[in-house]
Amino acid sequence: MTLHGPLLEQAGQFGGNALLLTGPARVGKLAAAWGMAAAQNCTGVRGMYGEACGACPSCQALAAGAHPDILLVEPRATTTTGKAARRKLIPIGAILEGRDKNRDYDVHVYEFLEVRPTFQRRVVIVNGAEFLGQEAANALLKLVEEPPHRALFVLVAEDFRAVLPTIVSRSARLNVAPVPDQEVARALVRSGLDADQELIAFAAGRAGVLDAAETVKAALGDAKLLDDALDTGLLTTLETAEGLEKRWDAAWHPEALRFVWRERPAHQRARADTALSALQEALEAYASPSLSFQVFALALRDAFGLT
């Protein structure tokens, strides 16, 4: 769900080769990028801000998840062994097929752009432009300067200062800002969801949160269960932590926990954050999940003065 119509309007009027979308995490940058890519290829009647119609052959292809003219490039989430990647990086292998030794990417930017568009315009979305390696950025830069077939690059990053200056200097930057809570509530209702006040408070104007509304609500529920268990007793805390381990979502549970702790005293939140960081580091290092969550639960009780 997109709440950034004016951004789509600005992108529609842009005549260059590269757009750089920046803004806080989960503010809706990637959704805005997809909206821009859809609008570039839409052949139907556009909306108020030039947004895609949702019904033409191009829009139908996008809805089916198989649009021939849009390529998403991201850092690898897992290693070749299937484990979570410890370092985010977009390597040169994502750009050039000949440099993709491990065959990490099914489609490569250079080869993708050699083909003429099926509809109107080839669009490459780079989600995580700050993670472009030096070689990858240099290879991409040549394509950005003279893109084949008028291709458009939509680069997404949280902070433009983390993106290589050579990329920034050749891009038009658009800031994706949080939207008012009232807009978030209306978007939830339009999507057939309740205007949940806790979810709205958690979102804090970040449209990207709404794309995973049910997952976020589940994570908030888990966080409250653990927080309540802390006051009940040690055994209940350990049992609840065991349940949390089985449902753990690294994308949402850490933030949900911090949200639930937000009204606790600052010194307690600081110690709880330290415990949470230690848990995340242990999981990233492939330590025993069961033991890691038990240690985390004990550290939380200590942080909140419950031992």
Tens-digit pLDDT profile for residues 203-256:
999 988 988 899 999 999 999 999 999 999 999 999 999 999 999 999 999 999
pLDDT in tens, 118-170: 999 999 999 999 999 999 999 999 999 999 999 999 999 998 999 999 999 99
The topology (CATH level 3) of 5-177 is Rossmann fold (3.40.50)
End-to-end CA distance of the chain: 44
Closest CA to 152 of 176, 107, 121, 119: 121
* Placement of tokens 């700050």 in the chain: 130
| Per-residue pLDDT at 14 | 85
Q: How confident is the model at residue 5 (pLDDT cuts 50, 70, 90)?
A: confident
Q: Check pLDDT > 80 for residue 79.
A: no
DSSP 3-state helix, strand, coil percentages of the chain (rounded to 5)?
A: 55, 10, 40
Average pLDDT, stretch 51-69? 95
Average pLDDT, stretch 42-55? 91
Q: What is the mean pLDDT of the chain?
A: 91
Element (H, E) at 48: none
| Per-residue pLDDT at 211 | 85
Is this prediction's pTM over 0.85? no
Q: Check pLDDT > 90 for residue 112.
A: yes
| Per-residue pLDDT at 56 | 96
Average pLDDT, stretch 174-195? 88
Give the sign of the dihedral formed by CA 294, CA 297, CA 302, CA 303: positive
Q: How confident is the model at residue 272 (pLDDT cuts 50, 70, 90)?
A: very high
- Identity of residue 2: T
Average pLDDT, stretch 100-113? 92
Question: What is the DSSP code string of 138-193?
Answer: HHHHHHHHS-GGG-EEEEEES-GGGS-HHHHHTSEEEE-----HHHHHHHHHHTT-
| Per-residue pLDDT at 287 | 85
